[in-house]
Every structure is written in C-alpha cells, then in structure tokens.
A and B are shown apart, each in its own frame.
Chain A
Amino acid sequence: MELLFQFLSNTGYYLADYRQIIMIVVGSVFLYLGTAKQYEPLLLVPIGFGILVGNIPFFKGFGLGIYESNSVLHYLYFGVTTGLYPSIVFLGLGAMTDFSSLLARPVLMLLGAAAQMGIFFTLLGALALGFLPKEAASIAIIGGADGPTSIFLTAKLAPHLIGPIAIAAYSYMALIPVIQPPIMRLLTSRKERLIRMPELREVSKKERVLFPAVAVILCCFLAPASIPLLGMFFFGNFLKECGVADRLAQTARTAIIDTATILLGLTVGASTQGDVFLTGKSVLIFFLGAVAFSIATASGVIFAKILNLFLKEKINPLLGASGVSAVPGSAREVHLVGQSEDPENFLLMHAMACNSSGVIGSAICAGILWSFLVGS
C-alpha cells in the first residue's frame, strides 16, 4: 500500500501545479491554431506539442526535464542554446529562396531595410522598461519577425529568455493575418493600395548564381557576427542556383530543414516549463514583441510612401509591410490585402522580394546587436 502511495505521489497528477496547467492549455491552443486553423502549422505544431511535453510534471532529479543537465531533452536543446538549429534552418531557407524578384527590382530591398526599424525602436522601449541591454536586444529582434534569428541572438545574449522570446516570435509570425492588415489599411489610402506594380524583368541564371556570392561578401564584411546565419543562408542559395549541386540543395530544403525545424520547435516548446516561463518578464516580452512587430510593419509601409515622393514609378506601399522577414506569411498577406481592393493586382512576387530582403536585414541586425553587446 505504501509503495502504491509512493508511486502515486510521483505521478504528474500529484505533482501538477497551476502554472503547468496554464502552459498545457497554451500548448493546446497552439496545436488547435496549427491544426484546425492551419496558422503556420509547421511551426505551431512542434512548438505546441513541445509545450505539452515540457509541462508534464515530473519528479525533479531524474534527468527528465529540459533544464536538467543529463536529460535527453537537454541534449536536444543544445542545438538551440548554441545557435546550431537556427543556422541549419537558414541553410534550408537559402536553398528554398528564389531571389529573382529582388534581383529584378533591387529598390525593393530598401523596404526590407526600413522594416528593421521596429527592432531598434523596441530596443529603446525594452531598455526604458528596465531590461538589461542584452535582454533588450534579444527582445528587440522579435521585430524582425524571424524565429530562427530571434532564437540565435537570444541564445548568444540572454539564453534565459529563449523560451518566451521564441514563443513570442513564432506567435506573432503565426498571427500575421491578424496583426498586419489593420496596420496596412490604417497607413494607406485606397488609391495607394490600388497601385499596380509593373511586370518584373526576366533574371538570368548568371545573375542568380552571382548574387549569393556577392551578397555573402558584402553583408558579412559589414556584420561578421551574422556569418552563422547569412553564411549558411547564402550557401544554401548558391547550392540551389549553381545547378551542379541539385542533390545537396534538395536535401537542404527538405530533410535538413525539416529535421532542424522539428527539433527546434519541440525543444523551444519544451523550454516553456511553467515555473520558468510564467513570469512578469514573459508578459512584458509578449507586449514588446507585439509593439516591435507592429512598428516593423508600419515603418516598412511609411518608408514606401516616403520613397514614392521621389520615384517616378510609384511603389504600392503595402509592399513595405512585407519587409519583415516572416517568409512567406507577410508576402501572402500583402498580396491578399492588395487583391481585396483590386482582384487583378498581383503583388505576391514583389512582396517576396521585400520578404527575402527582410530575412537578410534581420540577420544583419542580429549580427550588429551581437557585436555591440558581446563584450558588455
């Protein structure tokens, strides 16, 4: 009988506290959004399930939890804390990305740069709210709307915040259809939303092959700290475009990125243990993340409007919203908002150009912030 009581006292039912129950509910919401609503299912499903796994109550000291040094989850989490998974994800992203539209219209890259302003405004906001500089920089990068980049920088500067920052970054990426359209509509007139973009010129294979080589040199010379992300990103893109390594490119954009995404999502989810995650700081991080994402969207749109003052051939300012690096969610949203005004207005390819420049921009920002704060 005593043995039975001892066993029962070691079960999750006995050990559970309210924070774990809250997190299990949060995980279930993620799973619901990912599966039933299909909001970024490839991210929300592994993260949601990871939250469930990470919040099952257990007897501490058995080497079960993600924060216990000899547990399996801890070993898998190593890829997050070292920045390994984000680099691998970037390799796959590079092997998936087609830069043709960006090469055809390089001016759209400026919208990707403008959308990064959300990062720096949020940096100021986080510092004003009392976060330490390294924590503030990690929170600010949420404004780039790039999950792997946020995780990478947080792992380097404020590893204790990986859970809330990763969850905030991915949540806002999944909530693009909710967050971005009102901002886009608020900042643009109907006339502006109706601007049609000209047909993009055809880009030669030689241009597409040269681009990753030129870009890696220019970007990484400027911000060497972004080598782990941009080096892998442009390498993946070179594999795709060079035409002689199709097998490697195919593996990078399928098996490799899928494996990294599964492990990244699951372990980030599992890192949200109720007792570590449910703090006042996490609430503030979620608030600042929303601010960062909104400012990033707004600054892209506003910059496109400013650019139109000088350009003969006007740019549809909705494209500015796709300067955040949530690929391809924000590009899709820009396209849909454009089509809701004029069903024959096709903005997707142009929006993808801004989106891919946003990926480059946020990775450069991560490198810059890391190099600013690494010694402090």
Chain B
Amino acid sequence: MYGFEAITVNNGWAMALAGALIVFSGLVVLSLAISQIHKILTLFEKEKREVGFQQDLEAPKEDELEDKPLISLPKQFPTDINEIARLYQPLIDQLGETFYLSDLYAISRKNKLPHPHITFTAFRESAILIPYGEGVFTWNLPEENDDNANG
C-alpha cells in the first residue's frame, strides 16, 4: 500500500498532527517556565532582602548596640579646653591608658564630636594629649590639668 491510502490506514495524519502539537506545546510550556525562572528568583531575593531588613529594624545587632554614643553632647558646646577634655573623658576611659590617635579620632566621629582634628591639636598644645612614641598617646587627666591650672 502506498500514497495517501497508506498514510490514512496507518493513522499517519493523526500521528503527525498530534506529535507536532505535543512537541510544540511542550517546548512552549518549557520556554514559558524558563522565562519566569529569573523573575521568580528575583522576587525571592527581594523578599529575602525585605525580611532581612525588617529583622534588622526589629532587633538591632550587637555591634550596633556597641555603637551607641558613649556621651551626650551638651546643647552649647563648651569653648574652654578643659571642659572639652572632660567631655572626652568617657572615650579615653574606653580606649585605655595608651591609645592611637586614629582610634581616638574614630570614636570621636562615632560620638559626633565636632571637629576632632582641631580639638586634638588644641589638646596637644594644652598638654592634655601627650605623645608616647610611635603614634601612641596618653591622656593627661583633665582634673589634674584643672588642678594645675587652678593651683
């Protein structure tokens, strides 16, 4: 048997049509699915970021607690160098007996103390901040300084 008759008898038309439709629809579904993968992933990542952000807001981290200012600045910042030194005392207490100037600068910035560079120069000129060698400094206690000044 040959020709159209053979195709019809062997169910050829149905096989060809159904086969073509199945493979086409299969690949269309697959292409739709893969076109959505990156969108779904982006959505998940966005959600994850948002959840993370919410958690951050609700529960501050330990290092953030550590970052809490050690001092509360007065409304009117003092002009007297000894007064300013007393303001710095809690920071010095945290840094220890000897410290690097860069650490003092960092902690001053964190506590929003104004113009630390200028203040440090003034401290050095007033012998409140004393070089200990190799970038290390010590603190000449303001009380003592006060005493000296008063005495």
Contacts from A to B (Cβ < 8 Å):
102-103, 106-107, 109-110, 112-114, 116-117, 119-121, 123-124, 127-130, 132-133, 136-137, 203-204, 206-207, 210-211, 214-215, 218-219, 222-223, 357, 360-361, 364-365, 368-369, 372
Interface contact A127-B23, CB-CB below 8 Å: no
Contact with A along B28-43 (1 / 0, CB 8 A): 1111111101100100
User: B33 to nearest A CB, angstroms?
Assistant: 6
User: A220 to nearest B CB, angstroms?
Assistant: 10
A-B contact pairs, 27 of them (CB 8 A): A102-B34, A103-B38, A106-B34, A107-B31, A109-B28, A110-B27, A110-B31, A113-B23, A113-B27, A114-B24, A123-B16, A128-B6, A130-B1, A133-B11, A136-B12, A137-B15, A203-B38, A204-B38, A214-B33, A215-B33, A218-B26, A219-B30, A357-B27, A364-B22, A365-B23, A369-B15, A372-B18
A368 partner, pick from B2, B7, B23, beta carbons under 8 A: B23
- B148 interface residue (CB < 8 Å to A): no
User: B26 to nearest A CB, angstroms?
Assistant: 4
- B20 interface residue (CB < 8 Å to A): yes
- B54 interface residue (CB < 8 Å to A): no
Contact residues in A for B41 (Cβ distance below 8 Å): 204, 206-207, 210
Q: How far is the CA of A123 from the CA of B14 in the complex (A)?
A: 11
Contact residues in B for A210 (Cβ distance below 8 Å): 37, 41
- B90 interface residue (CB < 8 Å to A): no
User: A107 to nearest B CB, angstroms?
Assistant: 7
Contact residues in B for A137 (Cβ distance below 8 Å): 15
- B4 interface residue (CB < 8 Å to A): yes
Contact residues in A for B22 (Cβ distance below 8 Å): 222-223, 364, 368
B26 partner, pick from A114, A121, A136, A219, beta carbons under 8 A: A219
Chain B residues 23 to 78 lying within 8 A of chain A, measured CB to CB, are 23-24, 26-35, 37-38, 41
Interface contact B23-A364, CB-CB below 8 Å: yes
- B114 interface residue (CB < 8 Å to A): no
Residue of B nearest to A211 (CB): B34
A124 partner, pick from B1, B13, B24, beta carbons under 8 A: B13
Task: Tell whether A117 pairs with B7 under 8 Å between CB atoms, given A203-B38, A214-B33.
Answer: no
Interface contact A368-B19, CB-CB below 8 Å: yes
Q: How far is the CA of A210 from the CA of B3 in the complex (A)?
A: 47
Interface contact A127-B32, CB-CB below 8 Å: no
Instruction: Known pairs A120-B19, A207-B38, A222-B29; list 12 more (Cβ under 8 Å).
Output: A120-B20, A124-B13, A127-B10, A128-B2, A130-B2, A133-B12, A203-B38, A206-B41, A207-B34, A214-B30, A364-B26, A369-B19
Task: Tell whether A123 pairs with B2 under 8 Å between CB atoms, given A113-B27, A211-B37, A214-B33.
Answer: no
Task: Tell whether A109 pairs with B23 under 8 Å between CB atoms, given A103-B38, A124-B13, A204-B41.
Answer: no
Contact residues in B for A124 (Cβ distance below 8 Å): 7, 12-13, 16
Interface contact B3-A215, CB-CB below 8 Å: no
Q: How far is the CA of A365 from the CA of B3 in the complex (A)?
A: 23
User: B11 to nearest A CB, angstroms?
Assistant: 7
Contact residues in B for A123 (Cβ distance below 8 Å): 12, 15-16, 19
Please provide the 5 A-B residue pairs with the shortest distance between their CB atoms, ordered closest to farther: A109-B31, A113-B27, A120-B16, A106-B35, A106-B31
Grouping DSSP codes into helix (H, G, I), strand (E, B) and loop, the A interface class, with mixed when no group exceeds half, is: helix
Contact residues in A for B6 (Cβ distance below 8 Å): 127-128, 130
Contact residues in A for B2 (Cβ distance below 8 Å): 128-130
Contact residues in B for A102 (Cβ distance below 8 Å): 34
User: A369 to nearest B CB, angstroms?
Assistant: 6
Residue of A nearest to B9 (CB): A127
Q: How far is the CA of A249 from the CA of B102 in the complex (A)?
A: 52
Q: How far is the CA of A366 from the CA of B13 in the complex (A)?
A: 17
B23 partner, pick from A130, A133, A211, A361, beta carbons under 8 A: A361
Q: How far is the CA of A210 from the CA of B12 in the complex (A)?
A: 37
Residue of A nearest to B2 (CB): A130
Interface contact A215-B19, CB-CB below 8 Å: no
Residue of B nearest to A123 (CB): B16
Contact residues in A for B32 (Cβ distance below 8 Å): 106
Contact residues in A for B38 (Cβ distance below 8 Å): 103, 203-204, 207
User: B38 to nearest A CB, angstroms?
Assistant: 5
Interface contact B34-A215, CB-CB below 8 Å: yes
Residue of B nearest to A208 (CB): B37
Contact residues in A for B35 (Cβ distance below 8 Å): 106-107
Q: How far is the CA of A26 from the CA of B65 in the complex (A)?
A: 83
User: B13 to nearest A CB, angstroms?
Assistant: 7
Contact residues in A for B13 (Cβ distance below 8 Å): 124
Q: How far is the CA of A127 from the CA of B30 in the complex (A)?
A: 31
Interface contact B34-A103, CB-CB below 8 Å: yes
Q: How far is the CA of A128 from the CA of B4 in the complex (A)?
A: 6
Interface contact A222-B28, CB-CB below 8 Å: no
Residue of B nearest to A132 (CB): B10
